[in-house]
Chain A
Amino acid sequence: MSKKEKVVTNVIKLLIKAGQAKPAPPVGPALGQAGLNIMSFCKDFNAKTANLKDNVPVPVTITAYSDKSFTYETKTPPATYFIKKAMGMEEGGGSQRPGHTEAGIISAKHLYEIALIKHQDTVRTELE
């Protein structure tokens, strides 16, 4: 007889800067709606991302269960973050006319390095 498994109620995706989870939007409303302990998550997340540079955006996926417990996974920062950094571009920067006008140039070496980092995400899929 298998152990009673937990029932999943929500899967929440967020982007939070390393070490900067706070009980304000976006974390507050998103976790609050699922009835999760926001403070607990914030401190836990900040401790876990303490080794990363401040302001690095960290994709987080939180799985919430019917007993209000939760688990979460972090991934490497979004590819767009690395690309903009490699090009020396500001956050929120980019072409004014995507698909039509170039905003900058990135080297193949940079793209290779970024791909290496992002590849860590795929390798870390769940083991059944």
Chain B
Amino acid sequence: MPAGSTALAAYATFAAAQGDDICSLRCTVEDESGESASDLCDALLGSGAQSASVEEFRPQGLAEQPLYSGSERRVWERCTVTTHFPPGTDVAAALKRAAAWTGRTQPLRYQIAEVVAEEWVQTIRDSYRPSKVADRLWIIPDWCEPPDAGAVNVRLEPGLAFGTGEHPTTRLCLRWLHARRSDLAGRRVMDYGTGSGVLAVAALLLGAESAAATDVDPLAVRAAGANAALNGVADRLVAVPCEADPHSPEPLRTAGALATAGSASFDVCVANILQGPLLALAPRLAGYSVPGGLLALSGILAAQAPAVQAAYAPYFSGFELTC
């Protein structure tokens, strides 16, 4: 199977369409005046469009009309309005409604194109490049060659599961793991809310003996397993689904994976999620940690940090905040 095809397939499934299936109808209205473009967008959004985008309309040969971020002018004089509708929408009827709402007497002139999942999925793919996270620690998209072959290179099939190494929260956690790699050696790691599995895999490559990973998204669980295999650490990672409800039974036990995982005690726990789940998960993550264990939490805004720290203070001490 060609590299990256699993990621594309995963994206397509997530988009409720196979690669060739139509996932959206793109409708383009050209040469709309800047004054009315915004109202037209609102009218189209109210008519069933899922998104509405305004860009410059520049037929061949005409000069650019650059729009600067700080300028008072908020829109180009001549615009192209691009909207996306769910597949199967009667776009003609939606446009008629929108035209009526904006008080037009002339019908809108437009073009419709079918969008297949592959188009924008490919755009996402093209935007991934090898990324250096810390000294001799890189994240490498599966179809690229590592620039530094001797570094710790975490190979990823960036797919729908979050965790390509690009987001600041992922990088913060990766740097934390990297800084503590001497503490990781021979230890057991729990990656709660694993997404693509990048943190668990990185921990294993940095010297951890074994890791467990869990996520509410079953596709993430699959992605974590796939990425572990890509890095040759599949035999040291146990990936199981979990439920969003923090009072639900412990996921390793539920999945019957306690024997494979070894136990539900971990020397290092990392959870890169969001404030809501993190607040609710304090008892569970505390339960996973051995006395003296390390914990890293991320996915929160700086303003949310005090509340999260307060939730974990009954169980942990020695908090450090890194932004």
Asked if residues B66 and A7 are in contact (CB atoms below 8 Å), the reply is: yes
Chain A residues near B299 (CB-CB < 8 A): 43, 47
Chain B residues near A65 (CB-CB < 8 A): 69
Chain B residues near A37 (CB-CB < 8 A): 127, 166
Least Cβ distance of B302 to chain A in Å?
11
Chain A residues near B15 (CB-CB < 8 A): 23-25, 28
Chain B, range 38-66, C-beta contacts under 8 Å to A: 41-42, 45, 50-56, 66
Partner of B274, one of A13, A19, A40, A128: A19
**Of all chain B residues, which has the CB nearest A42?**
B162
B231 close to A (CB within 8 Å): no
B16 close to A (CB within 8 Å): yes
Partner of A13, one of B26, B53, B167: B53
Asked if residues A25 and B275 are in contact (CB atoms below 8 Å), the reply is: no
Partner of A29, one of B45, B54, B84, B164: B84
Chain A residues near B123 (CB-CB < 8 A): 32-33, 35
B72 close to A (CB within 8 Å): yes
User: In whole angstroms, what is the CA distance A30 to B275 when docked?
Assistant: 27
Least Cβ distance of B218 to chain A in Å?
14
Indicate the member of B53, B123, B160 with the most A CB atoms within 10 Å. B53
Asked if residues B71 and A5 are in contact (CB atoms below 8 Å), the reply is: yes
Asked if residues B124 and A48 are in contact (CB atoms below 8 Å), the reply is: no
Asked if residues A30 and B274 are in contact (CB atoms below 8 Å), the reply is: no
Asked if residues A12 and B86 are in contact (CB atoms below 8 Å), the reply is: no
Asked if residues A29 and B51 are in contact (CB atoms below 8 Å), the reply is: yes
Chain B residues near A68 (CB-CB < 8 A): 127
Chain A, range 38-90, C-beta contacts under 8 Å to B: 38-40, 42-44, 46-48, 50-51, 63, 65, 68
Least Cβ distance of A20 to chain B in Å?
12
Least Cβ distance of B222 to chain A in Å?
16
Asked if residues B124 and A38 are in contact (CB atoms below 8 Å), the reply is: yes
Asked if residues B23 and A29 are in contact (CB atoms below 8 Å), the reply is: yes
Chain B, range 275-292, C-beta contacts under 8 Å to A: 275-276
**Could you list which residues of chain B lie within 8 angstroms of chain A, going by C-beta atoms?**
11, 14-16, 23-24, 26, 41-42, 45, 50-56, 66-72, 75, 82, 84, 86, 115, 117, 119-121, 123-124, 127, 158, 160, 162, 164, 166-167, 169, 274-276, 299-301, 304
**Could you list which residues of chain A lie within 8 angstroms of chain B, going by C-beta atoms?**
5-15, 19, 22-35, 37-40, 42-44, 46-48, 50-51, 63, 65, 68, 128
10 interchain pairs (CB within 8 A)?
A5-B70, A9-B55, A10-B55, A28-B23, A29-B115, A32-B124, A33-B82, A33-B120, A43-B162, A50-B276
**A27-B51, A30-B84 provided; 20 other pairs, C-beta below 8 A?**
A8-B68, A11-B53, A13-B41, A13-B45, A13-B52, A14-B50, A15-B50, A28-B23, A28-B120, A28-B124, A29-B115, A29-B120, A30-B50, A30-B51, A32-B119, A38-B120, A39-B162, A39-B164, A47-B275, A51-B275
Q: Which 4 A-B pairs have the closest CB atoms?
A: A32-B120, A26-B50, A30-B51, A5-B68
